[in-house]
A and B are shown apart, each in its own frame.
Chain A
Amino acid sequence: MLLFRSEEHARRWRERRRLTDTDILTLRQAAALAHAWYQRKLSADWRRHTVDEAEALFTELGLDPEFWRLH
């Protein structure tokens, strides 16, 4: 999961590698995802997200439902 200067750079990198199934997140989406995913990682009560919890989070962040589908 790489960072790029812009969407144009991300698309150019993807095309050079002939990758078709990727998703490009805005920085706002990526940061919100990282925040939600890791904010409790160092807490004593941390546990892995369930599939349902993860999918609900992806939906809340407006991510592509097909790319982020886990079921």
Chain B
Amino acid sequence: MDEAELDREVRVAIARAIRERGVIPRVADVAAELGLQSSSISASFARMADGHVFIARKGSHEIYAYDPFCADPTDFLVRAGGREWWAICGWDALGIPPALGTTGTVEARCGDCEEPIHIDVGLAGTTTTSSGAVLQVGLPAREFWTVM
């Protein structure tokens, strides 16, 4: 198996862990699942982090955010597919239900007044909310494109 084939297998294993078990796997989890050495999987994780497939934890190749899914609790809580998830920003929060192919809800707080915001996310990118919620993007796209 060459590097490209391995990276694809690893990426599919990561996606399967998220979809079927609701977890963002670590290098050791993927190595055990695929029956491969951790060093091979760690190298694959490193390549994918360099290629912006996911955001790695600082000083590590482990996954911090396999966008739109974040491994750690954040201010953006999403309920979808019978599970709770976290996202690193509003864009990602709205992307979790579609990534799972289901409906969901987003619970966040207004960046200005910190009042709660509740958004129902339907299929095909539809949403409903009790307020006139908006998303503010703080940098021009060309400045964050490389990590999108």
Q: Please, how many residues of chain A have a CB less than 8 angstroms from a CB on the other chain?
A: 46
Q: Please, how many residues of chain B have a CB less than 8 angstroms from a CB on the other chain?
A: 55
Closest 5 CB pairs of A and B: A35-B125, A2-B111, A38-B95, A34-B94, A34-B95
What residues on B are CB-neighbors of A49 within 8 Å? 148
**Is A3 touching B108 in the complex (CB atoms < 8 A)?**
yes
A contact patch SS: mixed
**Is A41 touching B99 in the complex (CB atoms < 8 A)?**
yes
Chain A positions near chain B (C-beta within 8 angstroms):
1-7, 9-10, 12-14, 19, 21-39, 41-44, 46, 48-49, 51, 54, 58, 67-70
Q: Smallest Cβ distance from B87 to chain A, in angstroms?
A: 10
A–B pairs, 29, beta carbons within 8 Å = A1-B137, A3-B76, A3-B108, A3-B117, A3-B134, A4-B134, A4-B135, A5-B131, A9-B112, A10-B111, A10-B112, A13-B112, A13-B136, A21-B139, A23-B136, A26-B134, A27-B129, A33-B94, A34-B68, A34-B94, A36-B125, A38-B67, A39-B101, A41-B95, A42-B100, A44-B8, A44-B15, A54-B148, A68-B140
Asked whether B29 is an interface residue with its Cβ less than 8 Å from the other chain, the reply is no
